[in-house]
Amino acid sequence: MTLSANNVSVKLGDAEILKGVSCQVEPCRTTAVIGANGSGKSTLLRTLTGEYSPNEGTVLLDGINIASLSPLDQAQHRALMSQNPSIAFDFLVSEIIEMGWVQDSLPHKFLKESLAEVSRLCGIESFLQRAFNGLSGGEQQRVHFARVLLQIWNASHDDTSRYLLLDEPTSNLDMAYELEILKLTKLVSSQGMGALVVLHDLNLAARFADFVYLLVDGRVFCEGTVVEVFTEEVLSETYQVPIRVERHGELNRLLVIAN
């Protein structure tokens, strides 16, 4: 079971943003999409959600073309957390999270149980009754994470797959909140969800990703494990700055240093 783009090309206006891109989001795996600004990362995520229709190629959700699925069917199996979503009105935190609920065919008790489980997992149960706009930026980001997680929460405990897509979820966050969001992403993917996350910070990608797609000018330039993609030659060429990659012995992971 996968959420996959197969030889997808996408034009926005006269510009071809994606050019024959193929990728897969697999259950139990955290996949990172990296690349310089303008490489097509966010467009790829929006194509996987069905927001953008490919001019060529197909997007399949567990083998089914998403174009043939209803918006509700899609929403119950994949969710997108956009960059810096804002809320104009002063809703309670619990109300914001409930906006993600799309399992209306289930009894109401499942909503309350699922909201409690998601809130506990995200560490926000203590401020469910606070005003959302009174929270810090990092707290708000955790609430949005809980909202999209609730959207695809397996309340009925069936065996269908779930996919979580995150578009630069660590932007404008301090270091502690960056780590919290990505640790949560890694946790839910280890429990069975497939996670795809767009990241600018290469060290965060090196730390949390199981698999990496490196985009350059709308194409997949390189794909594979962190060790396979994060080489000095590949990163220096694609980011056009000298980059050194070292393995930190104590941390047992790669560190990326721009010279």
Cβ burial 9-40 (10 Å sphere, 16+ → b, else e): bbeeeeebbbbebebbbbbebbbbbbbeeebb
Q: By percentage, how much of the chain surpasses pLDDT 90? A: 80
Mean pLDDT of 160-171: 91
* Res. 86: pLDDT tops 90: no
Q: Are 169 and 185 in contact (CB under 8 A)?
A: yes
Distances from the Cα of 24 to the Cαs of 43, 55, 109, in angstroms? Answer: 15, 19, 34
pLDDT at 129 over 80: yes
Any idea which architecture 1-77+160-230 has in CATH?
A: 3-Layer(aba) Sandwich (3.40)
Are the beta carbons of 54 and 4 closer than 8 angstroms?
A: no
Sign of CA dihedral 63, 25, 152, 218: negative
pTM of the model: 0.93
Quick check: 192 pLDDT over 80?
yes
Burial of 198 (0-12, 13-18, 19+ CB in 10 A): buried
Q: Is 99 exposed, middle or buried (0-12, 13-18, 19+ CB in 10 A)?
A: middle
Question: What is the predicted pLDDT for the residue at 190?
Answer: 92
Please tell me the predicted confidence (pLDDT) of residue 115: 95
> How do residues 54-82 score in pLDDT, each as one tens digit?
999 999 999 999 999 999 999 999 999 98
Give the mean model confidence (pLDDT) for residues 169-194.
90
* DSSP run (H or E) holding 161: none
Give me the chain's average pLDDT, please. 92
Give the C-alpha separation, 66 to 101, whole Å.
Answer: 20
Q: At residue 8, what are phi and psi to the nearest 5 degrees?
A: -90, 130
Residue 256 contacts residue 230 (beta carbons within 8 Å): yes
pLDDT-derived band at 89 (thresholds 50, 70, 90) equals confident
Q: Which of 82, 87, 3, 1 is nearest to 43 (CA)?
A: 82
* DSSP-assigned beta bridge partners for residue 214: 34, 222
| Residues found in the chain | 259
Helix (H) or strand (E) holding 197: strand 194-198
The domain spans of the chain are 1-77+160-230, 86-158
Better-predicted residue by pLDDT, 101 or 88:
101
Which band of pLDDT confidence, cut at 50, 70 and 90, is reported for residue 156?
Answer: low
The packing angle between helices 137-151 and 175-190, to 10°, is 10
Residue found under tokens 């590949």: 234
For 204-240, the pLDDT digits (tens) are: 999 999 999 999 999 999 999 999 999 999 999 999 9
| pLDDT of res. 171 | 80
pLDDT confidence of residue 90: 84
